[in-house]
């Protein structure tokens, strides 16, 4: 199991999302804890994204911490 850390900025922005999207986004840390490479790669090895309807969650995967 991997460790997922949400920043304060991310959590504040998530509060602005509609409730339906927020419910889906709150499940993402559990999915990423199991497989951090499940999202789409974005040109850099450590930068990835997961989509929540028309919104996007960007995240970093540090191999040396995995």
Per-residue pLDDT, 66: 56
pTM: 0.75
Q: How many Cβ atoms sit within 10 Å of the Cβ of residue 28?
A: 18
Q: What are phi and psi of 27, to 5 degrees?
A: -85, -15
User: 3-class SS at 50?
Assistant: strand
Average pLDDT, whole number, for the chain? 88
Per-residue pLDDT, 49: 93
């Amino acid at each position: 199991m991997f460790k997922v850390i949400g920043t304060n900025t991310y959590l504040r922005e998530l509060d602005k999302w509609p409730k339906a999207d927020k419910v889906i986004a709150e499940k993402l840390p559990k999915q990423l804890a199991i497989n951090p490479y499940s999202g789409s790669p974005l040109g850099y090895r450590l930068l990835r994204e997961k989509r929540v309807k028309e919104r996007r969650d960007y995240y970093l995967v540090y191999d040396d911490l995995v």
